[in-house]
């Protein structure tokens, strides 16, 4: 019996599905508060795309050297130390999935209550998370069908939205020309601050790295899937934000989460616009579902590796890690109840960016420490590619620490808690392995 392997086209689809989520439909309102040029906003999404591409190029070589599944959990353990690998897994479990679930459910509720203001936003967020958690906790096949259906609807609707938006004739004028003032915006601290939202929107470009052990010819197909998937999303994001800016005056977008609702109203009129807003809310269901489906599998693996976390590995008769799924969703519900949307995005971006930074920096460790590994793929324009990525990301991380110290502190506390769990777990393991006298 041959084991089914993931083909190149499927790997590209996984990258695209993981990337297109909450960020692109919600973050523009925060960007235009400090950046006043259409050109600078488009450059923001272009720079974010270049950053993701540089990361994808570098991950391609690291993934080609270590083609097993697990992403950063696998890479950082090999390149640095198992403790660093564990921390990346811990962060991905606690922050990487639960916080985006919370952020997406908050955004979904904002879109729905814009049309039905009599409904309670918190109740909507809680209900969506609980219902999807129940679906994924019972049966993997049902959860998989649910996920695939919503992902295809998401892609088709976004392409239709862009298509109609490009033919719309707005009443206002947005300047997309690269004037001196526009370039001043590009070089400002506000640009770096806004990159926080953009890097969050682009997160997921490394998705194929988590399943590389199940891919056909991963040494060749993983780098290609990362590159092609990221390039497609970069084009979609740039066009979608152009349509948002082109269709809605910048002053109306300031501080608004549900930018897609405003844009849909302008392009399609109020009634169809409201329908499109509900469609965007449905698209966010796909994002929440993908996170609830994927996250617990990391937690389950960690539960199998570390005795102190063994309860996370518990599965039901359908082999679904229901304890891990429920635990992750409880974290998400707590975050919905206690955090603002803006704080959630900053917290996620800061914490995940730390480990993405370490992974890309690992390319230099790989080439020095693992010279004997003959990778089928080499990072283009090395060492410029990883240095450019690390430079931009460091700029973003420093700006988050300076502008959002509280969210940064929460992120560091999450990492330190993971370190404590790792050493306690390993100390117990070492004590058990000692021979009795």
The answer to the question of residue 432 being in a domain is no
Q: By CB neighbour count within 10 A (0-12 exposed, 13-18 middle, 19+ buried), where does 126 fall?
A: middle
The larger pLDDT score, comparing residue 192 to residue 141, is at 192
The CATH number of whichever domain residue 402 belongs to comes to: 1.20.1740.10
The answer to the question of residue 431 being in a domain is no
Q: Which pLDDT does position 433 carry in this prediction?
A: 46
The answer to the question of residue 1 being in a domain is no
Q: Which pLDDT does position 357 carry in this prediction?
A: 93
Q: Which pLDDT does position 322 carry in this prediction?
A: 73
List pLDDT tens digits, range 334-388. Answer: 888 887 777 777 888 888 889 989 999 999 998 888 877 776 678 888 899 999 9
8 Å CB contact between 20 and 187 = no
Q: How many domains does the chain have?
A: 1
The answer to the question of residue 265 being in a domain is yes
Bridge partners of residue 376, in order along the sequence: none
8 Å CB contact between 40 and 221 = no
The answer to the question of residue 434 being in a domain is no
Can you tell me which residue has the tokens 């998937």? Answer: 229
List pLDDT tens digits, range 106-135. Answer: 888 888 888 888 888 888 989 888 888 887
Most confidently modeled of 28-32, 157-161, 375-379, 406-410?
406-410
The answer to the question of residue 32 being in a domain is yes
Count Cβ atoms below 10 Å from residue 333 Cβ, excluding itself: 20
* Residue 311 belongs to domain spanning: 8-421
The answer to the question of residue 430 being in a domain is no
The answer to the question of residue 96 being in a domain is yes
**pLDDT (mean) for 47-65:** 85
């Amino acid at each position: 019996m041959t084991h089914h392997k993931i083909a190149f086209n499927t790997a590209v689809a996984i990258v695209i599905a993981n990337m297109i989520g909450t960020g692109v439909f919600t973050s523009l309102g925060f960007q235009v508060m400090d950046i006043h040029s259409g050109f600078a906003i488009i450059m923001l999404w272009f720079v974010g795309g270049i950053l993701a591409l540089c990361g994808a190029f570098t991950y391609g070589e690291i993934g080609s050297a270590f083609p097993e599944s697990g992403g950063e959990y696998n890479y950082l353990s090999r390149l640095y130390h198992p403790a660093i690998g564990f921390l990346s897994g811990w962060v991905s479990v606690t922050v990487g999935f639960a916080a985006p679930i919370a952020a997406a459910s908050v955004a979904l509720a904002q879109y729905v209550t814009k049309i039905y203001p009599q409904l309670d936003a918190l109740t909507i967020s809680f209900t969506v998370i609980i219902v999807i958690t129940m679906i994924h906790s019972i049966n993997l096949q049902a959860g998989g069908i649910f996920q695939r259906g919503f992902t295809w609807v998401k892609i088709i609707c976004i392409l239709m939205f862009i298509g109609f938006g490009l033919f719309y004739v707005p009443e206002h004028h947005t300047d997309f020309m690269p004037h001196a003032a526009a370039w001043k915006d590009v070089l400002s601290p506000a640009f770096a601050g806004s990159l926080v939202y953009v890097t969050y929107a682009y997160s997921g470009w490394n998705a194929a790295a988590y399943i590389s052990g199940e891919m056909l010819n991963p040494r060749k197909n993983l780098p290609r899937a990362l590159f092609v998937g990221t390039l497609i999303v970069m084009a979609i994001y740039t066009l979608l934000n152009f349509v948002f800016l082109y269709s809605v005056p910048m002053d109306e977008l300031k501080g608004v989460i549900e930018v897609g609702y405003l844009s849909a109203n302008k392009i399609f009129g109020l009634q169809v616009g409201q329908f499109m807003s509900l469609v965007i809310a449905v698209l966010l269901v796909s994002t929440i579902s993908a996170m609830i489906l994927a996250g617990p599998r990391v937690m389950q693996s960690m539960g199998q590796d570390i005795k102190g976390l063994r309860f996370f590995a518990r599965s039901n008769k359908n082999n679904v890690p229901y304890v891990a799924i429920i635990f992750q969703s409880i974290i998400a519900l707590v975050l919905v109840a206690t955090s603002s949307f803006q704080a959630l995005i900053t917290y996620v971006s800061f914490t995940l960016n730390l480990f993405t930074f370490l992974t890309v920096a690992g390319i230099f460790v790989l080439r020095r420490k693992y010279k004997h590994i003959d990778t089928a793929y080499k990072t283009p324009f090395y060492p410029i590619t990883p240095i450019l990525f690390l430079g931009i990301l460091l700029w973003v991380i420093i700006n988050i620490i300076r502008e959002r110290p509280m969210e940064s502190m929460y992120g560091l506390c999450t990492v330190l808690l993971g370190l404590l769990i790792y050493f306690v777990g390993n100390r117990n393991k070492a004590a058990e392995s000692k021979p009795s006298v």
